[in-house]
Structure formats: structure tokens, C-alpha cells
Amino acid sequence: MPTFEALGPFWDDWSALSAQQRKNFMVAVARLVEDLRAGRGFRPGLRVKGVRGAPGIFELTWADDGRATFQYGSSVRGGEAHVTWRRVGSHEILRRP
């Protein structure tokens, strides 16, 4: 199971999401975790890709206008991925990923 942490701006964004948006995000996170465990790359529906102009930062699509940004950190448990969530919200978060 990958480990994770979240930065302050993520929690600020999280508090502004509706209950349904939070639920949609968590469904996408469960899929991301499945894909990380399987080691087969990410399913196309998550649309994980690098953020242009922000090396090492990736975006995840969790709704039509739902995005989250993350980066990988040093492994906490032997060889497992460690994800640092940076932002979550609408496409607008990509201005300051």
C-alpha cells in the first residue's frame, strides 16, 4: 500500500470541497492506489500526467473539473510509492500546482 502525506494548501482546498466532491476524489484515489499496487501504469480514466512548467508535479483528474496535484517523495516503506498531495479542486489549482 502506498503511503501519503498532504501539504497545507491541500487541506485548505479540501475544506472548500463539497461532500460529493470529496467522495469523487476518494474514489479516484482508490483507483490510483490500485494502479500503484499493480505496477502497470495508471488507467487512462485518471488522466495522470505531468503538470506543464512544474517538473516533478503530476495532476490527477477525478471529475470533469476536478483535479489534484501530487509529487512522489522518498519511500517510507521498502520500495513502496510515497505520494505527497499538493492541491485539490478545480482546474484552477493548476495555476499554482
Contact 51, 44 (CB under 8 A): no
State the CATH number of the domain containing residue 13.
3.30.2310.20
Residue 75 DSSP one-character state: -
Please give the residue range of the domain that contains residue 83: 3-95
Q: Compute the average pLDDT of residues 19-38.
A: 96
Query: What's the pLDDT tens digit per position in 43-90?
Result: 999 999 999 999 999 999 999 999 999 999 988 888 889 999 999 999
The predicted model scores a pTM of: 0.93
Return d(Cα 72, Cα 15) in angstroms, integer: 23
Please, what is the average pLDDT of the chain?
95
Q: In this structure, which amino acid lies at residue 4? A: F
Task: Average the pLDDT over 12-24 and give the result.
Answer: 98
Number of domains in the chain: 1
